[in-house]
Amino acid sequence: MATNSGKSSLETFRLFSSTDAKTNSGFGLFDAPELPALPLPPCVEVLASEVSPSEKYAVDLVNLDGLTLVKGRVNTQQVFGLSNSDLVPGRYEGGLKLWEGSLDLVKALCSEIKSGHADFVGKQVLELGCGHGLPGIFALLEGAGSIHFQDFNSEVLHCLTIPNLKANVSRKSCPSEMKLPNCENEAEVRFFAGDWSEIDKLLLSSSKQNQGAGYDFILMAETVYSISGLQNLYCLIKKCLRQPDGVVYMAAKKHYFGVGGGTRQFLSVVEKDGLMAHSLVAEVTDGSSNVREVWKLSFKCNENSVPTTLDPL
Ligand SMILES: C[S@@+](CC[C@H](N)C(=O)[O-])C[C@H]1O[C@@H](n2cnc3c(N)ncnc32)[C@H](O)[C@@H]1O
């Protein structure tokens, strides 16, 4: 997570495991360049029009139980001058890789829609820590009225999220009933870069339709890996989620060994505060990595929320 701790050198982390990883090596430290700590990047909106359609962009197809999405392949070395790293705290926070949690989240959202527990049609959606942005793209394809994508790094939005979004919505195989940007009922699609500790005002002032009332849905995958960012992330969610009936879907690993975060650490922050309830939507134990989970959070004052108690950490 990004911090302003002023460390003289920054570590390069490999958080297990992205879908790009050949093996689930577990958490480890790599040879890290000696990099000075940086101030937090400014909070800015990145305009989709700034991204040239002619920019080179290699894609892969991701099959999610019958749903096919497009994902770009972008080289960390070319964008950040960093090789062999999943993230470098405070500089690059991992957005160029596709992490397993974002696929778990899309699948879970699919099930939630099928079972009638979620409906994105016309809703205001925010994806935090978006990277490729597949959950947000999925919400858009499911008819969201507005979708805002946030990443720590503006470079990730430029080089990956925006081309990814364009590639997905322009695919000919999209079912005709999907409401896509540039159609008659145009959705509002916007992109914001900046740190969770500072980006709330930009996000809330940017939504024309709900006039600062907050988002109906906040989606996030693999954003709770480091303890240092949990409090800021939770504060941002409380400020940005619409009261009383906004819903957060969070996908992540139960524990990130070596960096200290995980779903349970984040939920203990939530429990301590006492304002929000949480319930487990899905548990993924594919035998190849740590247990992964998808959780749903909502305000306790929402009568539909279902409080649960966590297992001991
Ligand atoms: C491990 S990546 C996950 C990317 C994507 N959600 C996925 O699952 O493929 C973590 C994401 O959280 C964002 N992030 C991490 N710390 C952040 C911070 N302090 N402020 C803003 N964004 C942050 C990063 O930019 C990155 O997109």
Other C-beta atoms within 10 Å of 143: how many? Answer: 17
CA of 1 to the centre of ligand 1 (A): 8
Span 14-34, pLDDT tens digits: 554 444 433 333 333 333 455
Mean pLDDT of 147-175: 86
> Within 10 Å of residue 273's Cβ, how many Cβ atoms?
12
- Choose among 84, 42, 61: nearest CA to 193: 42
Which atom of ligand 1 approaches the CA of 150 most closely? 22
Residue 205 is predicted with a pLDDT of 87
Q: Does 244 fall in a domain? A: yes
Query: Is 226 touching ligand 1 by the criterion CB < 6 Å?
Result: no
State which of 93, 106, 249 you would mutate to test the pocket of ligand 1, scoring each by most atoms of that ligand within 8 A of its C-beta: 93
Residue 296 has pLDDT above 90, yes or no: yes
Do the domain assignments include residue 261? yes
Q: Is the pLDDT reported for residue 197 higher than 70? A: yes
Residue 41 in domain: no
Whether the CB-CB separation of 151 and 194 falls below 8 Å is answered with no
Residue 19: Cβ within 10 Å count: 13
Count the domains in the chain: 1
CATH number, residue 174:
3.40.50.150
Average model confidence (pLDDT) for the chain? 82
- 14 lies in some domain: no
- 191 located within any domain: yes
Range of the domain at 272: 46-83+93-299
What is d(CA 151, CA 190) in angstroms, rounded to the nearest whole number?
12
- Determine the pLDDT at residue 120: 97
For the segment 90-140, what is each residue's pLDDT rounded down to a tens digit? 889 999 999 999 999 999 999 999 999 999 999 999 999 999 999 999 999
Asked if residue 99 has its Cβ within 6 Å of ligand 1, the reply is yes
Residue 199 has pLDDT above 60, yes or no: yes
At residue 25, the pLDDT reads: 32
- Does residue 291 lie within any of the structural domains? yes
* Single-letter amino acid, residue 156: V
Distance, CA of 230 to CA of 121 (rounded, Å) = 30
Is 208 inside a domain boundary?
A: yes
Q: Hey, CA dihedral for 62, 156, 250, 26, is it positive or negative?
A: positive
**Does any domain span residue 19?**
no
